[in-house]
Amino acid sequence: MKRKYLRKLWPGAIALFVLAACADDSRLDFVAEKPESIAELEYLDDYDVLKTYVNRSTDPDFKLGAGVSVSDFTKKGLAYSLVVSNFDEMTAGWEMKHGGVVQTDGSLDLSQTESFIAAAREAGITIYGHTLCWHANQSASWLNSTIAPTVVPGNGEPTWDLVTGADFETDDASNYQSNSNALMSFTADGEGADGEGRALKIINEEVRENDWNSQFFVTFSPAMEAGETYELSLDVRADVAASFSTQAHGEPGSYIYWDFFGSVSATTEWTTFTKQITVSDDLAGTKTIAFNLGNTATAYYLDNIRLSWYNESGGSQTIEKTAEEKREIIAGEMERWISGMLEVSKDYIKAWDVVNEPMDDGNPYEIKTGAGKTLAGDEFYWQDYLGKDYAVTAFSLARQYGNSDDLLFINDYNLEYDLDKCRGLIAYVEYIESKGVRVDGIGTQMHISTDSDKEQIARMFELLAETGKQIKISELDIGVGVTTDQATDEDYKAQSEMYQYVAGKYVEIIPAAQRYGITVWSPNDSPAGSSWRAGEPVGLWTEGYSRKRAYAGFADGLAGEE
């Protein structure tokens, strides 16, 4: 192991030296010994700053990065000194994301980004852009407002105003969907209600344990409010006579109340179901009608679904935007956001996390969706409006408004935990590039623990290396399974060993030409009040900026030492 500078004097030894210098010829009759816990960590003083452990002859472009708080860095205090001394590059934790820039009125406040770039330029440290297209940390209230229904006020007699409807004469399915046990298709033309047009056919193949295991959903907005009156009507039949209940949901799959519009009876002939309700407190906030189809194994046929609202003021209209209108609006918002960010940053930032966390955890070869989820206030799924090509659009815009030679990455987590997710991400990259758009690199976050599977980590690196892309460990931190106040020295030894393993395997398996670098997401241990791994000792330094065993392990791994 190479040591790069002389061991610093232990503070206690300095104190003894000062005392001796001030004494007369008399001798002290005691000896102060170093606490064992301090003596065992003295070896950390032999290490140089982290970035010196990167082999610049084989990896001249390697970026050793740190996740930072922009406000902490621009204060130019201890956080600034630690980052500038030890790292080549920074990634902003929050301030360069959509939610940190796009205001509630849609305007872009890029002042923090500009200040960050100015401070980085002065310090001579690069910035990795993070992130242009994600589902979290978004200005969701603004984005949702752009696609909200248009309300046209009126002043006439009370009316029944259409809230949402579906006659299934087109393939527009923006206001309905089903779960996996309810198989949807369309009938032939002429097989709809009264022999006109077509209907929606939904097959429930077997009797389910619960009727809600097979569900069809009709969505609408705005959400219902207590005291309002609604009417549901639909034409219905089934291959076998059946009755099915209705539930109130927020988003599809987000249950609110068991009884909504009661039960719908279907015979083998077309009939029309109609029912009016007044919204109770239990139903307030409902945005979805769920039809529970699991009690009978049959094919159901639905047509001419209409949900209407009783408008006491009369004449006012709530006009829903079509799926195509929403797609155009959201595509425009993506372009406005990406072009605005790159306009102020392209002169300095040359690498970007363009698409973040696209793959679904439960279906790792498919992209995520917000459908069926109760969304947090800052969540917005661009892909639910732009489809699978949302990443194609994001990469195209980043290339258009950035620099032609920028390195553009796609990034995801748990690739070492679920190798199918790693393969799914690689397949999605291939799909994006099949559309004529270049993806330069793949980022693997690696928020892991000391008990993570080392064989899977190595296999992940092998899969990523096979792509020929630039590979970046984008958000590395390693937990020990307990909080800081419970961690033992054995925990910290295991953490050091895992940091060394990860860095060493990256250097060993990823070819030099593909090594973009490694970013340590939390250089210091996480404070108890943090929004990320709160109170966990995940860093290379303590909260008080003292080096940990992990520092040495990581440095040795970067240097390629076993």
Tokens of 121: 């330029």
In contact, 67 and 519? CB cutoff 8 Å: yes
How many other C-beta atoms lie within 10 A of the C-beta of residue 499? 28
Mean pLDDT of 306-335: 90
Q: How buried is residue 9: exposed, middle or buried, by Cβ count under 10 Å (0-12/13-18/19+)? A: exposed
Tokens of 17: 């030296």
**C-alpha–C-alpha distance, residues 458 and 460, integer Å:** 5
**C-alpha–C-alpha distance, residues 140 and 286, integer Å:** 19
- All CATH 3.20.20.80 domain ranges in the chain, comma separated: 47-143+325-558
Helices (H), 375-488: 383-386, 390-401, 419-434, 454-465
Look up the CATH architecture of domain 152-320: Sandwich (2.60)
Mean pLDDT of 541-545: 96
How far, in Å, are 69, 360, 541 from residue 363 at the CA level? 33, 5, 37
In contact, 178 and 215? CB cutoff 8 Å: yes
**C-alpha–C-alpha distance, residues 289 and 255, integer Å:** 10
**C-alpha–C-alpha distance, residues 303 and 236, integer Å:** 6
**C-alpha–C-alpha distance, residues 180 and 294, integer Å:** 12
Please enumerate in sequence order all residues whose Cβ is within 8 A of that of 280, keeping only pairs 6 or more positions apart, or say none: 226
176 has a pLDDT exceeding 60: yes
**C-alpha–C-alpha distance, residues 554 and 533, integer Å:** 20
DSSP 331-383: HHHHHHHHHHHHHHHTTT--EEEEEE--B-SSSTTSB---TTS---TT---TH
- All CATH 2.60.120.260 domain ranges in the chain, comma separated: 152-320
Binning pLDDT at 50, 70 and 90, where does residue 32 land? low
**C-alpha–C-alpha distance, residues 555 and 500, integer Å:** 7
Instruction: Give residue 156's pLDDT.
Output: 77
86-144, pLDDT tens digit by residue? 999 999 999 999 999 999 999 999 999 999 999 999 999 999 999 999 999 999 999 99
CATH of 47-143+325-558, one of 3.60.15.10, 3.40.390.10, 3.20.20.80, 3.40.640.10: 3.20.20.80
Mean pLDDT of 345-365: 98
Instruction: Give residue 33's pLDDT.
Output: 62
**What is this structure's pTM?**
0.72
